[in-house]
Amino acid sequence: MKRSLICRCVAIVGVAVSLLIASGSLSLAQRNPNSVNKNVPLREIVRLPGKLLAEAKNTNAGGNPKLNGYRVEEVALPRTVTVEVRGQQVAVNRAWRVTVTGGPFPVRAMPAVIWIDDQIVGYGIENENLSQITAVTFDGSLITDGSVVSLSYGEDKQGRVRLSERLQLKRGGQNQ
């Protein structure tokens, strides 16, 4: 009798912990307005070759964390996928990769978030030596000439560190 009760308690705790972990992962994915569809892993997009749209470097980097540049690339996806952009499901065949450079960037409990102006591009992925953080978006309307690229930990608008160089697209203009 006691053994049966203990087994039931352990099973209930196991199910409860699994549900908590699953709901935490789900809510994190839902908070990212440009979250990547399961069909195209973010790690795959980060490694795909891209077309350079804009790049800036600043040797007099300031702020904490230290930011000394950015790179914006357009990435052709290996297949068309359906993703959510601004609340609507759309079929896309390209993505935009925004990378900030500097660091070394600390790994924190709150995710690194890359912004363009007041819009979140996405949650960042640090490279191996913590000198770059990259985010991916499917919303090309975020990539506009003269915009400000910034980084925060968590979605804290007030705590963002801004790059002094504004976005300057090669061949001018705006992406659609």
The reported pLDDT for the residue numbered 25 is: 38
The reported pLDDT for the residue numbered 2 is: 60
**Residue 142: domain span:** 42-162
Q: Is residue 135 part of a domain?
A: yes
Q: Is residue 58 part of a domain?
A: yes
The reported pLDDT for the residue numbered 106 is: 87
Query: How does the average pLDDT of the chain come out, rounded?
Result: 79
Give the CA radius of gyration of the chain: 19
Q: Are residues 62 and 20 in the same domain?
A: no
For residue 10, name the pLDDT band (cuts at 50, 70, 90).
low
Q: Are residues 75 and 145 in the same domain?
A: yes
Q: How far apart are the first and last CA of the chain?
A: 67
The reported pLDDT for the residue numbered 63 is: 62
Q: Are residues 95 and 54 in the same domain?
A: yes
Q: Is residue 9 part of a domain?
A: yes
CA atoms of 126 and 45, how far apart (whole Å): 14
Smallest CA-to-CA distance from 77 within 37, 123, 47, 45 is with: 45
Q: Are residues 111 and 158 in the same domain?
A: yes
Q: Are residues 158 and 104 in the same domain?
A: yes
pTM exceeds cut of 0.95: no
Q: Is residue 68 part of a domain?
A: yes
The reported pLDDT for the residue numbered 20 is: 42
Q: Which residue type occupies 72?
A: V
Q: Are residues 22 and 55 in the same domain?
A: no
The reported pLDDT for the residue numbered 92 is: 93
Q: Are residues 104 and 61 in the same domain?
A: yes
Q: Is residue 173 part of a domain?
A: no
Query: Into how many domains does the chain fold?
Result: 2
Q: Are residues 23 and 63 in the same domain?
A: no
The reported pLDDT for the residue numbered 76 is: 94
Residue 5 has pLDDT above 60, yes or no: no
Q: Are residues 27 and 46 in the same domain?
A: no
Q: Is residue 15 part of a domain?
A: yes
Q: Are residues 26 and 49 in the same domain?
A: no
Q: Is residue 167 part of a domain?
A: no
Q: Are residues 24 and 48 in the same domain?
A: no
The reported pLDDT for the residue numbered 71 is: 95
Instruction: Please give the full DSSP string across 110-175, using - where no structure is assigned.
Output: SPEEEEETTEEEEE-EE-TTSSEEEEEES-GGG-BTT--EEEEESS-STT-EE-SSPP--TTSSB-
Q: Is residue 37 part of a domain?
A: no
Helix or strand or coil: residue 37?
coil
Q: Are residues 61 and 127 in the same domain?
A: yes
Smallest CA-to-CA distance from 120 within 32, 39, 49 is with: 32
